């Protein structure tokens, strides 16, 4: 008997091939050899098991072969607390409180790829400690409408900026042996009806606007995983969309990693088998309430798939392909013996979070040098967002943090003369959402409030009369219908009567600083009545410290907007053309959303001539008539406490666009300016955007210092998608290059490109 067992174990029980050295365990062997070796040792059951979940956030390994379970977790701003095996409820662990890093809009606003690398590395270390092999992030869906509840999780409106920032994030994370799962691929640009939206978009807009950041994450970043989106494209759900997954991602881009379904995004076995899905998660996200003893066996890529193979409806060709990808993921992560050890909540992670936050905060307006705040100034802080935790809520990116410094506390620690919160230096001003617990994470401090909004306003106004400066912390929050997954915002306006509050305060105090906490632009009808506005994002654990750093001048702001800040919703292409949220298809559970603004998203739309906009409004029967409203703040814009001169020294055409620029700090404090190169046709004719971002560089300068830099845009990056040929084409000719410190620049010159 012993002899028989021994003989059997030398053979693969499934294929009966002789198995000798365990190549799959030998890290000196090429990856593909290890994959094939492991694959041929696996039984059908083992193969089926590893391609679908066994719990909310894990898929089994192969115990017999020593391949561990694969644990994953959200993402993208910190490692989500553990949930119960089959339910969304908290597991109640005591060792899963993490550092929250700033939301990805803030990271994008740093315009600093080195910080994206640091972000990825720090997050990777936290994930390792928590035993997670794959982080569900980063997100790179393009900001097409400021109503999208999840824009805060993404990197703005511009494909070039998002690409430059996502690549180092992915590389940093994966350098720790933790996979990035880039999401949500693709065209998941709003949340409303996210499971039913069928996006209709031109091939050109798909390629030029919506896919580049994914492509960069895969081709340059080498992402090991990607998550299919909930919505549909060409009437097929994106978690098993043959064009997006098989054709573009796997064939064209050569992606060798794993396609993971979004949780509950799988809808059909045959499509899941054939159209490129590799790992199924979250189907029937209500877990075992299916009534089955193990709902996971009922997944589309589970028992029914196995049965179909045994009945001969499929060969194991597709299955083996999926398994190879999952094995690669294991060798890169769980079975990578070179992985470092992880650590949670280290000081270096807090430092990284504070640095990223400090560099991402955007100074939007600063008249009469209201900012930075002087140490001896009598400061009044107003607003719920000064005392509200923002690392909880918002959906799957909600975190349980070891600590979160609130804006009021951050200011109190840096401006001790303000006095305690009870000492007259704080007024609530408005009430938003007082629920301070989310998905089992309860915030210690209560922010309950029983006074009416009129009473709160009156109190704030009275206190404001005595103050030198009033800092209002307002904006959105992470509650439903705000910056939150699952729904979009219902309005562009600020909620909770904040406009009334700001107007009332501005009447009694001329030094109002409005700090907008959000992941999206909001309407600011009172903009001319307040001298200072700061975009404060969702900044994570170090929010209060980072905001105080900037407000007091300890950090000189250098953030730049990663999206165009339109004055009103109807100024946004998608809304002026009345394309949002789409049109329900009669008799079907599908809502068609046609991206009628095409490639003209964000500043590309703002730049379009009034004539062309009018033509588009008419062609698409928009109820709007033409308008000519310039954005409140352009893409790429942000001020500093110092001033800079940007002088173009020379430029060259030929094979590439190459521009040499000297930047000088002409002010009194050290700071950073981000020089941006945009390129467009010499004579804009609406066939392509007036200009598009093609290179940028952030330059740090001491007072009086200058530096000379060269910005280069390759021919490749200037190509357009030729729909007829189905490929990128470069059109030689005369172009116009623009140098600026935002997209609103007139400094331009002609160049010939061959």
The contact set with ligand BGC (CB under 6 A) reads: 74-75, 136, 183, 262-263, 396
Print the SS3 string covering 244-285.
Answer: HHHHHHHHHCCCCCEEECCCCCCCCHHHHHHCCCCEECCCCC
Closest CB to ligand BGC among residues 396, 425: 396
> In 415-542, where does DSSP find H-type helix?
453-466, 498-508
List beta partners, residue 582. Answer: none
Closest CB to ligand BGC among residues 125, 191: 191
Number of H helices, E strands in the chain: 19, 28
Closest CB to ligand BGC among residues 396, 744: 396
Minimum distance, C-beta of residue 260 to ligand BGC, in the bound complex (Å): 9
Minimum distance, C-beta of residue 480 to ligand BGC, in the bound complex (Å): 14
Closest CB to ligand BGC among residues 262, 593: 262
586: CB partners within 8 A, 6+ apart:
none
Q: How many angstroms from the chain centroid is the CA of residue 492?
A: 20
Closest CB to ligand BGC among residues 419, 581: 581
Pairing state of beta strands 232-233 and 236-237? Answer: antiparallel
Rounded (to 5) percent helix, strand, coil in the chain = 30, 20, 50
Closest CB to ligand BGC among residues 152, 496: 152
How many CB atoms neighbour CB 38 within 10 A? 26
Buried b (16+ CB within 10 A) or exposed e, 638-655: bbbbbebebebeebebee
From residue 633, give the alpha-carbon distance in Å to each of 12, 106, 230: 64, 16, 32
472: part of which helix (H) or strand (E)?
strand 469-475
Tokens of 338: 């070179």
* Cα–Cα distance measured from residue 471 to residue 467, given in angstroms and rounded to the nearest whole number: 10
Minimum distance, C-beta of residue 182 to ligand BGC, in the bound complex (Å): 11
280: CB partners within 8 A, 6+ apart:
51, 52, 53, 261, 266, 272, 299, 300, 301, 302
Minimum distance, C-beta of residue 124 to ligand BGC, in the bound complex (Å): 17
* Cα–Cα distance measured from residue 32 to residue 256, given in angstroms and rounded to the nearest whole number: 11
Q: What is the DSSP letter of 159?
A: H
Indicate which residue of 74, 158, 262, 549 is catalytic: 262
Closest CB to ligand BGC among residues 29, 195: 195
Closest CB to ligand BGC among residues 183, 332: 183
Minimum distance, C-beta of residue 74 to ligand BGC, in the bound complex (Å): 5
204: CB partners within 8 A, 6+ apart:
598, 599, 720, 721, 723
Give the residue carrying structure tokens 């740093």.
Answer: 110
Minimum distance, C-beta of residue 213 to ligand BGC, in the bound complex (Å): 16
Cβ–Cβ under 8 Å, residues 547 and 536: yes
Cβ–Cβ under 8 Å, residues 229 and 337: no
Minimum distance, C-beta of residue 183 to ligand BGC, in the bound complex (Å): 5
Closest CB to ligand BGC among residues 183, 322: 183
Give the residue carrying structure tokens 């200009």.
Answer: 691
Minimum distance, C-beta of residue 185 to ligand BGC, in the bound complex (Å): 11
How many CB atoms neighbour CB 421 within 10 A? 15
Q: What is the DSSP letter of 243?
A: I
Closest CB to ligand BGC among residues 209, 229: 229
Minimum distance, C-beta of residue 230 to ligand BGC, in the bound complex (Å): 6
* Cα–Cα distance measured from residue 614 to residue 622, given in angstroms and rounded to the nearest whole number: 10
Closest CB to ligand BGC among residues 184, 306: 184
Minimum distance, C-beta of residue 262 to ligand BGC, in the bound complex (Å): 5
Residues in the chain: 754
Closest CB to ligand BGC among residues 74, 488: 74
Cβ–Cβ under 8 Å, residues 187 and 144: no
> In 595-702, where does DSSP find H-type helix?
603-607, 610-619
Tokens of 661: 């620029």
* Cα–Cα distance measured from residue 523 to residue 489, given in angstroms and rounded to the nearest whole number: 13
* Cα–Cα distance measured from residue 621 to residue 616, given in angstroms and rounded to the nearest whole number: 8
Closest CB to ligand BGC among residues 135, 679: 135
Cβ–Cβ under 8 Å, residues 79 and 96: yes
Minimum distance, C-beta of residue 460 to ligand BGC, in the bound complex (Å): 37
Cβ–Cβ under 8 Å, residues 266 and 304: no
Minimum distance, C-beta of residue 154 to ligand BGC, in the bound complex (Å): 11
454: CB partners within 8 A, 6+ apart:
none
End-to-end distance of the chain based on CA atoms, in angstroms?
76
Minimum distance, C-beta of residue 324 to ligand BGC, in the bound complex (Å): 24
Whether the ω angle into residue 280 lies within 30 degrees of 0, i.e. cis, is no
How many CB atoms neighbour CB 253 within 10 A? 17
Annotation marks residue 480 as catalytic? no
Positions annotated as catalytic residues are: 262
């Amino acid at each position: 008997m012993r002899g028989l067992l021994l003989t059997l174990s030398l053979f693969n029980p499934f294929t009966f091939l002789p198995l000798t050295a365990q190549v799959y365990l030998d890290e000196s062997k090429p990856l593909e050899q290890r994959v094939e070796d492991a694959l041929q040792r696996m039984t059908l059951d083992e193969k089926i098991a590893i391609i679908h979940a066994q719990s909310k956030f894990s898929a089994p390994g192969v115990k017999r072969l020593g391949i561990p379970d694969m644990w994953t977790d959200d993402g993208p701003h910190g490692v989500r607390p553990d949930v119960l095996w089959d339910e969304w409820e908290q597991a109640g662990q005591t060792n899963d409180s993490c550092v929250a890093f700033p939301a990805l809009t803030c990271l994008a606003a740093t315009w600093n790829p080195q910080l994206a690398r640091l972000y990825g590395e720090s997050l990777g270390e936290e994930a390792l400690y928590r035993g997670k092999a794959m982080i569900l992030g980063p997100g790179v869906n393009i900001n097409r409408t400021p109503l999208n509840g999840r824009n805060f999780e993404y990197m703005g409106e511009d494909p070039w900026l998002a690409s430059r920032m996502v690549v180092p994030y992915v590389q940093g994370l994966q350098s720790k042996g933790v996979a990035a799962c880039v999401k949500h691929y693709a065209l998941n640009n709003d949340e409303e009806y996210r499971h039913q939206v069928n996006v209709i978009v031109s091939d050109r807009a798909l390629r030029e606007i919506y896919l580049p950041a994914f492509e960069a994450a895969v081709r340059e970043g080498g992402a090991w995983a990607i998550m299919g989106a909930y919505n549909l494209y060409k009437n097929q759900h994106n978690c098993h969309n043959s064009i997006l997954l098989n054709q573009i991602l796997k064939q064209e881009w050569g992606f060798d990693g794993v396609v993971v379904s979004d949780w509950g995004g799988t809808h059909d076995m045959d499509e899941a088998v054939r159209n490129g899905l590799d790992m199924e998660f979250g189907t029937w996200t209500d877990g075992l309430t299916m009534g089955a003893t193990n709902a996971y066996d009922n997944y589309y890529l589970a028992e029914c798939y196995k049965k179909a193979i045994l009945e001969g409806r499929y060969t194991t060709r597709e299955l083996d392909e999926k398994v190879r990808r999952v094995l690669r993921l294991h060798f890169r992560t769980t079975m990578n013996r070179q992985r470092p050890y992880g650590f949670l909540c280290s000081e270096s992670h807090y430092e990284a979070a504070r640095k990223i936050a400090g560099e991402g905060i955007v100074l939007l307006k600063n008249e009469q040098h209201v900012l930075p705040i002087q140490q001896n100034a009598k400061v009044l802080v107003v607003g719920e967002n000064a005392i509200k935790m923002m690392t909880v809520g918002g959906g799957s990116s909600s975190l349980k943090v070891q600590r979160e410094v609130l804006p009021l506390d951050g200011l109190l620690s840096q401006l001790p003369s303000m006095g305690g919160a009870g000492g007259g230096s704080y007024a609530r001003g408005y009430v938003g959402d007082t629920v301070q617990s989310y998905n089992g994470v309860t915030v210690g401090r209560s922010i309950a409030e029983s006074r009416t909004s009129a009473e709160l306003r009156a109190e704030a106004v009275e206190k404001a009369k005595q103050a030198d400066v009033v800092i209002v912390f307002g904006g959105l929050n992470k509650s439903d219908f705000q910056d939150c997954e699952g729904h979009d915002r219902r309005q562009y306006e600020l909620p909770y009567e904040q406009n009334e509050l700001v107007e009332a305060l501005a009447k009694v105090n001329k030094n109002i600083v409005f700090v907008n906490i959000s992941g999206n632009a909001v309407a600011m009808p009172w903009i001319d009545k307040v001298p200072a506005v700061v975009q404060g994002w969702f900044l994570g654990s170090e929010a209060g410290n980072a905001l105080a750093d900037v407000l007091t001048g300890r950090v000189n702001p250098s953030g730049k907007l990663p999206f165009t800040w339109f004055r009103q919703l109807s100024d946004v292409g998608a809304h002026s053309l009345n394309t949002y949220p789409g049109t329900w298809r009669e008799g079907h559970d599908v809502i068609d959303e046609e991206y009628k603004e095409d490639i003209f998203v964000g500043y590309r739309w703002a730049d379009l001539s009034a004539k062309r906009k009018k033509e588009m409004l008419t062609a698409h029967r928009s109820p709007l008539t033409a308008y000519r409203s310039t954005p409140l703040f352009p893409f790429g814009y942000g001020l500093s406490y110092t001033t800079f001169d940007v002088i173009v020294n020379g430029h060259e055409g030929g094979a590439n666009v190459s521009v040499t620029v000297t930047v000088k700090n002409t002010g009194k404090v050290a700071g950073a300016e981000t020089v941006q190169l945009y390129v467009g046709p010499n004579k804009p004719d609406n066939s392509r955007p007036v200009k598009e971002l093609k290179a940028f560089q952030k330059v740090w300068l001491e007072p009086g210092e200058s530096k000379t830099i060269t910005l280069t845009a390759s021919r490749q990056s200037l190509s357009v998608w030729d729909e007829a040929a189905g490929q990128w084409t470069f059109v030689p000719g005369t172009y116009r290059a623009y140098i600026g410190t935002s997209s609103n620049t007139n400094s331009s010159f002609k160049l010939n490109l061959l």
